[in-house]
Amino acid sequence: MVAPTVCTSPVRWTKTKATNNAKPTTNTKMKQIHHKRPQPPKRAKILTTSWTRLSQPTTALLLGTLILLSLQAQTQAFCPSKCQCLSGEANSRAYCVDAALEDVPIQLNPETKYINLTRNKIRNLEFTLPFYMKLEVLDLSQNIIDTLGSKNFEFQKDMRTLNLSRNSVSALQKDAFRGLSNLLVLDLSFNRIEVADASAMSDLTSLIKLDLTNNNIVSLEDNCFHNMISLEILKFKNNQLLDVPSNNLQHLHALKSLDLSDNLVEYVRNDS
């Protein structure tokens, strides 16, 4: 008996069909996977953007605050190498004697009340004193200051004593001592002063002692001492005065001591 013949063609066809259909399916999936990339959630993106916008001004403010605090700390703590600085709650002092300084140092504690700059090489005072608004005593003697300029003491409302002796000041310009309404003692001795503007000392309403010893003053403009209602001691020794400056002296109602020795005055008029 002959065995029945089995037809394998449909089976082969089916496999071939399945095989042929599998390839494009696999390629399609790979292609889809290749082009499909994960995207961040929209909510996270929005939060990130909002944080960035908020952080920029906040960061700038924080950085600015840190910089200011850092500068303040450095300013309060810094003392030039040849200076001696003493800090205290009620009395901050700086001694920079014979320190070869060419300018008034601006790095000292802004609360400083006493600064001694004797025997340095300071020539002028421009743009340096506004840093010390609480200064009470300033000693600039034995420097090479040739001009006081105008309004360089405008912010020193608390200053009581100013020593400018033994410099090279040749003239007192307009508003030279503007702002020193509470100054008590002014020492300008041993300079080269020849002339003084009438308004140079107009703000010195509290001044008690003025020393102009050893200068080259020949005469004074009228009303130079007009507002010195508190002046008690005036030293004019060793100048070049040819006459007693009576027009100026008549305003000094509180005057107790006047020294005009070693001038060129030959006689005193009756109205002097």
Global confidence as pTM = 0.71
pLDDT 10s digits, 196-237 = 999 999 999 999 999 999 999 998 888 899 999 999 999 999
Q: Alpha helix (H) ranges present in 36-135?
A: 42-77
> Average of pLDDT values for 75-96?
83
The answer, yes or no, to whether residue 63 has pLDDT greater than 70, is no
What pLDDT, on a 0 to 100 scale, did the predictor assign at position 8?
Answer: 44
- Going from the C-alpha of 255 to that of each of 208, 233, 234, 235, 250, the distances in angstroms are 9, 6, 8, 11, 10
pLDDT 10s digits, 119-139 = 999 999 999 999 999 999 999
Residue 126 to residue 105: CA distance in whole angstroms: 12
The answer, yes or no, to whether residue 21 has pLDDT greater than 50, is no
CATH fold of 83-272: 3.80.10
The answer, yes or no, to whether residue 173 has pLDDT greater than 90, is yes
* Of residues 112, 109, 105, the one with CA closest to residue 75: 109
Beta bridge partners of 234: 210, 258
- Going from the C-alpha of 111 to that of each of 28, 62, 90, 238, the distances in angstroms are 80, 26, 9, 38
Pull the structure tokens for residue 62.
């924080």
